[in-house]
Amino acid sequence: MTDQASKVKEDVLNFTIENAEQLEAFRLRFLSRKGEVPALFGLMGKIPADQRKAYGQQVNEVKNLAQDKFDSKKAELETDSTASASARDDISLPPAPFNTGRLHPLSQSLERIQEVFLRLGFTVAEGPELEDDFHNFTALNFPPEHPARDMQDTFYIRKDDEDASRDLLLRTHTSPVQIRLMKNGKPPFRAIMPGRVYRNESITAKSYCLFHQVEGLYVNKGVTFAELKETLIMFAELVFGKDVKYQIRPSFFPFTEPSLEMDIWWGDEKTGKWLEIMGAGMVHPNVLKAVDIDPEVYTGFAFGMGVERITMLRYGIDDIRLLYDNDMRFLSQFR
């Protein structure tokens, strides 16, 4: 046998096959069209005529050896696979549980809120979470000495004591999106602004350092307080049911005048209580002036609510921290 044929035969005998991947590697190396065994046949033309018969017998021996090894190992692996499968797959056993994903309760509430306002003709607007002083405070009629600007309430990324216009901060509400919407367009505007907001507050059962808001804005000619009231009542009935008991009471916000808060009655007649769900009011003329809208021509209303508060009321959750703990025992309850 020639040296090359002997080498291929030795490699065939020493090749280890213990799994399907190694079996395929063996086939590709020795038996495929470009494998080592067909290559031996390709050398037949270079062998002297009187030696070709003997060489052909040698190559056929190597081919048969490789083919027999491939066939036997393949059968062996298929037998092992069938045996293990029959031992493993007991069709009488119940299937393993399949855990499907589900929306977080905050996402469910946010979707419901957006669905309600989309039905009422509002669009959705979004803006950056990193804001400057003008959009977060100044344009919304917050005076320079307002306590909301204090470091105790606001997460400042950059604070310039000499020039507040250079301040950068994590937005404390989604109202800056209203300012950007009005500055970059022309009335009428009718949109809601959902998103995360940040405040430097202690983490307790009722407060967290970040939460979600949905604010709304409607600016047009002749917008009235009655339209605001009707919008809020429709929202409360669509989210909490037609029989919801509500009250609207005066309040104060720098960016609306007059301002109000809306409460709903939570619980039964004897042990229930009033819970505030949102603040609202007519857009302050100073806010319209800050975005170059004439308050003598246009009026509007704005409102804002915390998604966490709505979620806790909808599902009877008494601790806001549960919404951020990522405890699957808690989250799996919300289908």
Query: Of 70, 67, 2, nearest to 40 (Cα)?
Result: 2
Same-domain pairing of 325 and 287? yes
- Two tokens at 96? 């393993």
Domain boundary among 56, 88, 120: 88
Domain boundary among 27, 55, 88: 88
Same-domain pairing of 144 and 252? yes
- Two tokens at 215? 């604010």
pLDDT for 63-73, tens place per residue? 888 889 888 88
Burial class (CB in 10 A: 0-12, 13-18, 19+), 113: buried
- The chain-wide mean pLDDT, for the chain, equals 88
Asked if residue 280 belongs to a domain, the reply is yes
Report which of residues 215 and 207 the model is more confident about.
Answer: 215
pLDDT for 160-213, tens place per residue? 888 877 889 999 999 999 999 999 999 999 999 999 999 988 899 888 999 999
Confidence of residue 257 (pLDDT cuts 50, 70, 90): very high
pLDDT for 143-162, tens place per residue? 888 777 776 688 999 888 88
Same-domain pairing of 113 and 80? no
Same-domain pairing of 81 and 122? no
Report which of residues 76 and 214 the model is more confident about.
Answer: 214
Residue 306 lies in domain = 105-331
Cβ atoms of 255 and 290 within 8 Å: the answer is no
77-88 mean pLDDT: 65
Same-domain pairing of 181 and 313? yes
> Does residue 196 come out as left (phi exceeding 0), alpha (psi in the -120 to 50 range) or beta?
beta
Residue 279 has pLDDT above 80, yes or no: yes
Domain boundary among 26, 53, 88: 88
Cβ atoms of 149 and 160 within 8 Å: the answer is no
Asked if residue 189 belongs to a domain, the reply is yes
Same-domain pairing of 129 and 43? no
CATH of the domain at 148: 3.30.930.10
Same-domain pairing of 181 and 314? yes
Asked if residue 123 belongs to a domain, the reply is yes
Asked if residue 67 belongs to a domain, the reply is yes
Q: What is the 3-state secondary structure (H, E, C) of the chain?
A: CCHHHHHHHHHHHHCCCCCHHHHHHHHHHHHCCCCHHHHHHHCHHHCCHHHHHHHHHHHHHHHHHHHHHHHHHHHHHHHHHHHHHHHHCCCCCCCCCCCCCCCCHHHHHHHHHHHHHHHCCCEECCCCCEEEHHHHCHHHCCCCCCHHHCCCCCCEEECCCCCHHHCEEECCCCHHHHHHHHHCCCCCEEEEEEEEEECCCCCCCCCCCEEEEEEEEEEECCCCHHHHHHHHHHHHHHHHCCCCCEEEEEEEECCEEEEEEEEEEECCCCCCEEEEEEEEEEECHHHHHHCCCCCCCCEEEEEEEEHHHHHHHHHCCCCHHHHCCCCHHHHCCCC
Same-domain pairing of 151 and 283? yes
Query: Of 194, 151, 157, nearest to 174 (Cα)?
Result: 194
Domain count, the chain: 2
Same-domain pairing of 84 and 125? no
Task: Evaluate if pTM is beyond 0.75.
Answer: no
